[in-house]
Chains A and B, each alone.
Chain A
């Protein structure tokens, strides 16, 4: 692999094998078999689990079925986080397939947003893209786009069409040649250990001295506790798309190549496993 474009492909086609099992307390007419699926890392749970829903509804009494939600080891999974982020944050370094519990009852209102239709996901997704472009280009690029371009971004994600999506998204990743990067980097940092959902700040890709800011600079600035002291052992992992990029990686490059389709860099900081 020699081309940066290959990174985009790898990011796009990242898949997590998952095993869905019905929560034991759900009442069924007959035993529910687990359901195995390859989940696209960049998509959203409620967008890609129609098959799962259908599979489990078959064994359930119609009146028992209400809104589906997912949980992993006691943690309700927020559908509005990309799947890859959920996995990195809660389940990386565990055995595959990722075993997700399916619920139809007791919707955890305080943890999850409702998702009654795909339109809700689309609205959320587009809102993220717009927010990202506000940070990157003062919304100039996204506002210049036509409605159908917006639709193409969404359809690209929904139907897993890489080319279709990137034909448009490419424009969102450009910046004027006289600048060396975006205005601000759209990023969110998530920590499994804190209550706070995520950290988001204004952060420029280029230092005032002109040198490129790196992933390490960002973490140091935003979440200094995650960086090991000089002499100490690195106790955390900084993960994006299931990999740990070196802290020397320029943040601008990461933003261009390893953002999720919503144009945000979703970075998970998790405790390093002690094996």
Chain B
């Protein structure tokens, strides 16, 4: 499944994305602006920033967004000068469009917005209708307008040629302001809401988008001509509505709903490819008469709404023919807003905790889903932290006047000092205290006794109290519910300005001081977490408070599990309390107990009996055969064995395989078996005359006794290797090419192996030793390899050639994988093999190959210990072949004479 993104805005206006394959919220690449609203689709995201301007964020992609501008140069023949720029008064302009009706000089073309750049200068198009023309691209005709030919004839009186210039949209991966070139009087008032959709309207051109916006005065606008080649669109058109609009939602197809101030919803009818704006409105009343509709969100054929009492409703019976649906159904949970994404999946922002909830169980047959589940993903920068969580007792938040620098720090008090002494409030300006972040983060990684130092650090920092009244923000509240600060914090300086948090408030009161919380003792059970990274907004226990979420570009595949709901290990979080308000059943003790007992039961009843036969046959014998096995009792020798690879589907649905090796021991039939999900590496053993390979598991690595098997032919060995490797990957659920996070290695023989880090690896207290990781071979042969975390892998071969990894996988002996044949190329490598010819001088014959009996071999390796003749020196493996005959190396270090000899008094011992 290709990954896609969920977009969200927190209460500080920061835009984050969460990938369907990721586990962390990532801050939007372009952080210049704070946003109020975003509306995402797969290829881009539109948003309204705090300046009420509309911005669009177009993802960079492989395909550039280019637009071809063209104009025609026209000439007429006259007897004096031949073809020239002088045209008849009745003629078209010298520079015109294709029809000749519009005057178009080269310099009249300007870039439509600052987000475009010229790709090149103007040039003449020498191709007409796919055929090259001669001499400057001219085409000829008797007169304008007429049929032009590329050949000049006797009666060709006029000619023209086309000039082309490309412009390219450059503002990708950043927020590009939609510059309005409209008449200022007609300009829409500041925008308040935006929604993007409509890209799936039947039969419409690919890349077209419907962009709808609502302005503060309640008017609804449609952005004309938004498409792939024109990501900004052209102008805003006013759409008349039966009332003042507050909010609008546009689905991927032809569904468009908006809400009115009065609390009704209006539904656009007549939207199709010819009429993407639709034709008329129908009104749908609010589900409850006393509480109007506050927010609406539509998908392919569903509508969800939130009424002013924060109740969530699902509209029954909505489809393309009946966009109004039939009736409202009340759903459980209270939300600030909801958003419907691709596949009709739904997200919402919880009313109490401002967490983002994902609606579970939304399927085509059950569009309303089953339950809300809180997304507890941490943020990117949490990853590097390791929390010694329980030792920390309380958390404080600091905000600076620069929102970019907002950071969170943990101030820990010893239980005795903070519980009975009131700390003086210490106003400080974080902008002046960059070391603060560093100090605080070290406290998180270290132990609690560093905290005294940190506190000293804080108080020693230059105070800047004229920045305004110091406010107190020290929270132990698990829900980070800002309302509760006010009621529970008894500190005298606790003048909380927080009940109505928005950007302006945060800027007006940049300085927050610290005071202790009177009841710290009650906090000790709470895991706290320190954060020092600059981009950090929230401690792990204070989950981000969200203001807006958009799932319009987020494709949740029902079959692939999301990693959004588990806290990355190393973080302590109040997940339990987050979801408690929504689905008590999910966190109740009884439920946990059932989960736990079931896994204990499985362990008890299955762990030691997995090798028993299954009563109901599910397994498949994939391959059986005869191999030789290096037997593990003395005297060790190769013995013939029957080998079978059995594949089965485990109780967790994962395909796993067992390799059985049947052997005879004292005339008794016995077997050993290996679960392929335990195999760490399979390596070819290049053995003289034996095509053999070795299979390692962590246990066998420890014993230094792999399972060694040999096949009678190379082909047979490769078949086994390929099958076993594939089965290992399958049982570890590895598919496709190595991920960007893969760890690459080369063996001393030059073979390349890749290991996928498990997600736990990064957070675990101890990284997994490499001999317990699973390594799979990819083709190729290198001496050195380097990779980065963006999936770029380079290597250097033995012949000093640089190689880049193309993303293919397989190769080598794994050649038969149909779906992996792309991007596999032949790699060749050249390795020089050195052998030495040794001679000794004697008075009779001079230098000769007759040495003393104590001398080294007359043909040897560099050390002289191994005999290496030209004939017995073989290429390192069957994959190598000699590319040249033996020749003399004159570049040996130390220098040689003209014949390549080097001299010494004697051979070293």
Contacts and interface: CB of A to CB of B under 8 A. Distances in A.
Interface of A: 1-3, 6-7, 9-17, 36-40, 43, 48-49, 51, 96-97, 158-160, 162, 177, 241-246, 248-250, 253, 258
A242 B595 contact: no
Given A13-B651, A16-B605, A38-B609, A43 B329 contact: no
5 contacts: A7-B594, A17-B606, A40-B615, A158-B616, A177-B329
A210 to B, nearest CB: 15
Given A14-B602, A39-B615, A43-B616, A9 B652 contact: yes
A96 B609 contact: yes
B597 interface: yes
Given A14-B605, A17-B606, A242-B605, A248 B612 contact: no
Interface of B: 329, 360, 565-566, 585-586, 588-591, 593-595, 597-602, 604-606, 608-609, 612-616, 618, 651-653
Contact of A241 (B565, B598, B651): B598
B604 A96 contact: yes
A10 B598 contact: yes
A250 B589 CA distance: 12
A37 B566 contact: no
Given A1-B595, A17-B605, A10 B616 contact: no
Contacts of B593: 245-246
A193 to B, nearest CB: 23
B616 A250 contact: no
B604 A253 contact: no
A85 to B, nearest CB: 14
Contact of A36 (B586, B590, B605, B612): B612
B613 A244 contact: no
Contact of B594 (A9, A40, A243): A243
B651 A9 contact: yes
A48 B616 contact: yes
Contacts of B604: 96
A8 B605 CA distance: 17
A30 B333 CA distance: 69
Given A1-B595, A9-B651, A249-B590, A48 B615 contact: yes
Contact of B590 (A12, A16, A246): A246
Nearest to A252: B585
Contacts of A97: 609, 612
Contact of B653 (A9, A37, A250, A253): A9
A10 B612 contact: no
Top 5 closest pairs, chain A to chain B, by CB = A13-B651, A17-B609, A243-B597, A48-B615, A249-B590
B596 to A, nearest CB: 9
A159 B612 CA distance: 18
B598 A7 contact: yes
Nearest to B575: A2
B332 to A, nearest CB: 10
A96 B615 contact: no
A253 B583 CA distance: 13
Contact of A49 (B590, B600, B608, B615): B615
Given A245-B590, A253-B585, A14 B616 contact: no
Contacts of B586: 2
B609 A160 contact: no
A49 B617 CA distance: 11
Contact of A246 (B360, B565, B589, B599): B589
Nearest to B595: A1
A3 B566 CA distance: 11
B566 A1 contact: no
A252 B599 CA distance: 22
Contacts of A48: 615-616
B752 to A, nearest CB: 36
B658 to A, nearest CB: 14
A249 B615 contact: no
Contacts of A249: 590-591, 594
A250 B594 contact: no
A10 B599 contact: yes
Contact of A38 (B585, B598, B600, B613): B613
Contacts of A248: 588-590
A250 B585 CA distance: 9
A142 to B, nearest CB: 18
A267 B72 CA distance: 87
Contact of B601 (A12, A160, A243): A243
Contacts of A1: 595, 598-599
Nearest to A163: B653
Contacts of A158: 616
A243 B591 CA distance: 12
Given A10-B651, A14-B602, A96-B605, A245 B615 contact: no
Given A14-B602, A241-B601, A38 B589 contact: no
Contacts of B589: 246, 248
A40 B651 CA distance: 11
A275 B618 CA distance: 39
A87 to B, nearest CB: 9
A2 B565 contact: yes
Contacts of A39: 615
Nearest to B593: A246
Nearest to B616: A160
A37 B605 contact: no
A39 B651 CA distance: 13
Contact of A15 (B360, B598, B605): B605
A13 B609 CA distance: 14
Nearest to A212: B585
A37 B606 contact: no
Contacts of A253: 585, 591
A246 B594 CA distance: 8
- Chain A CB within 10 Å — which of B586, B590, B593, B652 has the most? B590
Contacts of A162: 653
A43 B618 CA distance: 15
B448 to A, nearest CB: 32
Given A15-B605, A48-B616, 9 more contacts: A1-B595, A15-B609, A17-B612, A36-B609, A37-B612, A39-B615, A40-B616, A243-B597, A250-B585
A137 B594 CA distance: 26
Given A9-B652, A9-B653, A249-B590, A242 B615 contact: no
Nearest to B588: A248
B606 to A, nearest CB: 6
- Chain A CB within 10 Å — which of B329, B591, B599, B618 has the most? B591
B613 A37 contact: yes
- Chain B CB within 10 Å — which of A15, A37, A51, A245 has the most? A15
A246 B360 CA distance: 25
Nearest to A10: B598
Contacts of A250: 585, 590
B590 A2 contact: no
A90 to B, nearest CB: 15
Nearest to B652: A9
Contacts of A241: 598, 601
Contacts of B608: 17, 96
A243 B598 contact: yes
Contacts of A10: 598-599, 601-602, 651
Contacts of A15: 605-606, 609, 614, 651
Given A13-B651, A249-B590, A36 B613 contact: yes
B616 A159 contact: yes
Nearest to A171: B365
A245 B329 contact: no
A113 B652 CA distance: 35
Contacts of B651: 9-10, 12-13, 15
Contact of A43 (B602, B606, B613, B615): B615
A43 B614 CA distance: 12
Contacts of B590: 245-246, 248-250
Given A249-B594, A253-B585, A38 B618 contact: no
- Chain A CB within 10 Å — which of B585, B601, B609, B615 has the most? B615
A51 B585 contact: no
